Amino acid sequence: MEGDSLRSLSMRPGRRAERGCKTDLQTRDFEGGFFSPGKALRDPIRMIWQRGCIRLFLVSAIAWVMLVLVALLFHVWSCRSEISFLSALCRKDSKVLVILDAIGFAPKAQHRCSIPLADDPDAIIIPDKTLDIIPKELLYIEVDNQFPPLFGGHQSWSEREDSFKLSKSMMVHCGFIQNGGAEMDLVDIKYVKKCKFVVASGIFDGYDTPHQPANISVRSQKLFCFLMVVDDVSLNFMKKNVSVRIDKDGGKWVGIWRIVTLHHAPYDEPRRNGKVPKILTHRLFPQAQYSIWIDGKMELIVDPLLILERYLWRGKHTFAIARHKHHKSIYEEADAIKRRKRYARPLVDLQMKIYVYEGMEPWSTKKSTLSDVPEGAVIIREHTALNNLFSCLWFNEVNLFTPRDQISFGYVVYRLGDAFKFYMFPNCEYNSLFILHRHTREHSSAIEWVKNMTEFKTKGSGLRETRGGLGLWNPYTADLSSVKLPAVTRTSLAG
């Protein structure tokens, strides 16, 4: 018993020491923990956090970003403002605005102005048809004996040269070569025969959906055929995305638009296919006396009868088109096409060298035309023999060379000289005729990025078009090696 008591007393100091050791360890753990003052003094990151530097930095960064966004929004708003003081603060050529526009955050304000339209479509008197003088009779080459058959035919350089020589009776290439593609359904051929007044548009490769015209009078609804020309790809796209109505005769409709399908696309390039209804409207709709062409991404907002009165009948014109906003010389436009990669650079240069060799000078104030470069998205015309000839010759250039029709328009005007007269109206009025919508998707093809001829010749590249632009590959009648392109001064960052 006494031994047990002594043993118990002897163990107490050890237990006290053990308890003291545990307490000391707990104290150390507490002092060395993450939230302990001692740890905070030894950890610089915790010290910075406690002092609030990180929070201050984050708040400052957020405030700076917000300030930048407010400044950018003010910059964009001032550029679009109608207040003269705010508009004066804007640098419309600034890199900031260009970058924002490129990514779609700052669409450029449309350059619009009011159009002096007539007040009442019902009061407009439709004039008699313009008499044809030269040419009085225009016929088209429709059979090509060469193989394979091409929509534009195998036009030789000599045939091209002869087509610019005016005479009372003429026969020219004008697309629609037999078995060359772009065939219409019989139901559509029957329908368009009754169309004397036409509003035409076109969608190819599914890049757009039809936009319904606005402000159309009852008289114009009865007078005009609204014809939307599409390919099979676009028709299938429409059937999936918009309501397509089928009438009792089998005709297809999207709202006011009668859908006209062209089967067997004549070209490899969708943009070149789009030039068929745009330029050769008189071939697709041979009974039409007047036509207004608008590109597929546009929504027409002016009554078509008022358009004919304003741009044709009031000034006794037969062909009207808007001026390009930025360029007056085709060489300026060609330079912009290369810069923006809208077609192969070497092929654009080759077309321009041919035009230089054939005497096409850069635009200057000495010329009788206000500009050599149009905004081709709206074309207003009476289908006279001369206007039809102009359209054929314009299309032949698009068929032979590049599909960039704005650089060939001025050349054909130059070749026809004073015989072809047209009205070129202000660009601001052009922008007041429609609302511009974005494509459903952006077009791009490999040929747009080609920098030199070697890339075309690379085995298996597949870059060359097989049914269009063949004039750039057939040897030209003269040596172009010494031809120098005119110097171009870039007049607009937007162009």
Q: State how far the alpha carbon of 280 is from the alpha carbons of 4, 312, 391, in Å.
A: 122, 19, 6
**C-alpha to C-alpha distance for 111 and 102, rounded to whole angstroms:** 18
Q: Which amino acid is at 289?
A: Q
* CB neighbour class for 83 (10 Å; exposed up to 12, middle 13-18, buried from 19): exposed
pLDDT at residue 110 in the model: 58
> What pTM value is reported for the model?
0.79
**C-alpha to C-alpha distance for 350 and 336, rounded to whole angstroms:** 15
CB 396 within 8 A of CB 155: yes
pLDDT at residue 449 in the model: 85
Q: Which amino acid is at 32?
A: G
CB 279 within 8 A of CB 394: yes
Nearest 10 degrees: CA dihedral of 246, 249, 252, 257? -120
Q: Which amino acid is at 284?
A: L
Three-state secondary structure call for residue 82: coil
**C-alpha to C-alpha distance for 93 and 278, rounded to whole angstroms:** 32
Structure tokens at 98: 């260009």
Among 37, 35, 33, 100, smallest CA distance to 71 is for 100
In 10 A of CB 479, how many CB atoms?
Answer: 9
pLDDT at residue 25 in the model: 44
pLDDT at residue 251 in the model: 97
**C-alpha to C-alpha distance for 73 and 44, rounded to whole angstroms:** 40
Nearest 10 degrees: CA dihedral of 213, 216, 218, 224? -60
CB 324 within 8 A of CB 427: yes
**C-alpha to C-alpha distance for 163 and 325, rounded to whole angstroms:** 31
Mean pLDDT by 10 residues, the chain (495 residues): 48 50 47 48 60 75 86 66 47 52 51 89 96 96 93 97 98 97 97 98 91 97 98 94 94 97 94 96 98 96 98 98 95 94 94 98 94 96 98 98 97 97 95 88 78 85 89 94 92 61
Structure tokens at 305: 């009868």
| Residue 342 CB contacts under 8 Å (≥ 6 apart), including other chains | 404, 448
